[in-house]
Amino acid sequence: MRYKYRFSELGKVPFALEYDDITLVSRYSELPPKYEISLETYLTNKIKLNGPLLSSPMPNVTGPEMCIALGLTGNMGVLPKTMSIDEQVAQGKRVKRYSSGFITDPVVLSPEDSISRALEIKREMGFSTIPVTHDGTPHGKLEGLLVKYAYSERYKDEKVKDRMLTFEELEEKGILHYRRPSLPEAEEIMRQNNFGKLVIVDEEGNLDSIATWADVSTREEHPYALLDKDGRIMYGAAVGGPGRVEDLEERAKRLIEEAKVDVIFVETAQADSMGVMELTKKILEDYTQSYDIPVVWGNIDNRKSAERLISKCCESRDAIKVGIGPGSICTTREVTGFGVPQLTAVYECSEVAREYGVRTVADGGLGNTASKASGNIIKALCAGADACMLGGLFAGTDEAPGEVIEVEGRKMKRYYGMASVEGLKRGGGTRYYENIKDAVVQGKEIMVPYVGSVYDVIYEVEKNLKYSMRVHANAKNIKELKDADLEFVIKIK
């Protein structure tokens, strides 16, 4: 029996394959040891990533901190839909307000607001220096700046105007600027003034934007950060399928208009359905087309499903997401009997996606450790994926929501599937069934080891990817890796 194939021949293998069923065959490499490998890839034709990693939109995997960390490293976090619309929008705003360039839509106060309101913003948003405008709107006439050392709980009943630096004081201290400078210019101004804030106004004195020292240092410390045109971190957010029409419409509208989301992920257990292709598409298209927002449609796992989904739902700016039941905490294949092995699923679906000119995300089954995930990510990319979505890899990090628990002397964190009992309670049921009482349990809960900072995990994965590409694949970048059409061997079990 034949055991060695090239990835372009994967369709000729007489049986379906998981990642663990194969290993790759090394080829001659001409790249020197210190050659800088690029991990640039495309999530959609509109969004270029500086790394291929996406966090799964699960409540114990992704929150604002995870989105920020992934964004700063050139990858992308995806906020889950298992929360109220208000909470998801607030989390999205928090990501966008993280210091990464000029803040062009700042949270502001009015002079008549109480210090109590400032303390609420500090607790909810995580920052304490707040511009003050005449009418309390983001681009109103600037009245002053409330800085963190000027207020506390003891002043909660006082008005903002009594604790703020006035417009005149800002001018005198050099904290005020009448045109938006470049980031290097902003850095020099703040250094000369020995003050880590800069407030920019237009010629009429209306607030334009603000910058902080963190804005500048973020750019220097994270040169590969994934930023939008306004210098803000890019992120994605999940919405549900057709189960709750009003929720879907309002959630998409507010994420796009208020939270400035960069890409919408349609999260359904099985996207090859009339509900997704007709109802969900109809609801989303008004907002996504008006704002030119790409959509990642999922999940599917075979060629015919890909053809239907792409032809009926995808615009050229969109992508598809592949994976039914491959994850470590997903029991869909066991419970329902359905689910194509993931390597074959990625190959089949991505082949169709290339024909239509859209991108492919491989979702799940990649591994919960850096060493395991990096090898499987290489395989997924070779099979046709453009980006890879992972949950378990990130679930044990500091930036993942949830507490660290000590179990038999070991530090652990909870990790549960969207269709597990806990996931269904938290809102995952809308992904699997309209009525949560009728939802079928298709997941489980496990404990994953606490591994510390996600930045260290990302570094380890990307280091492994670059080593593999340089030493074994002779590929300078992900495009070359995919174009190389590497050989693989099927392991005998």
Q: Which residues are catalytic?
A: 330, 431
Two structure tokens written together for 164: 């703020």
d(CA 256, CA 248): 12
Other beta carbons within 10 angstroms of residue 28's beta carbon come to 5
DSSP string, 318-386: -EEEE-SS-STTB-HHHHHS----HHHHHHHHHHHHHHHT-EEEEES-S-SSHHHHHHHHHHHHHHT-S
d(CA 412, CA 480): 39
Indicate the burial class of 252 (C-beta count within 10 angstroms; 0-12, 13-18, 19 or more). Answer: buried
Helices vs strands, H then E, count in the chain: 18, 22
DSSP string, 278-312: IIIHHHHHHHHHHHT--EEEEEE-SHHHHHHHHHH
- Dihedral sign from CA coordinates of 477, 483, 485, 488: positive
CA-to-CA separations, 139 to 106, 130, 168, in angstroms, rounded: 9, 13, 18
Indicate the burial class of 33 (C-beta count within 10 angstroms; 0-12, 13-18, 19 or more). Answer: exposed
Strand (E) or helix (H) holding 254 = helix 245-257
**β-sheet bridge partners, residue 142:** 133
d(CA 308, CA 312): 6
d(CA 362, CA 482): 14
Two structure tokens written together for 295: 């959509």
177's torsion region: left (phi>0), alpha (psi -120 to 50) or beta?
Answer: beta
Q: String of b and e for 446-471 (b: at least 16 CB within 10 Å)?
A: bbbebbeebbebbebbbebbbebbbe
Cβ atoms of 138 and 207 closer than 8 Å: yes
Q: String of b and e for 70-96 (b: at least 16 CB within 10 Å)?
A: bbbbbbbbbbbbbbebeebbbbbbbbb
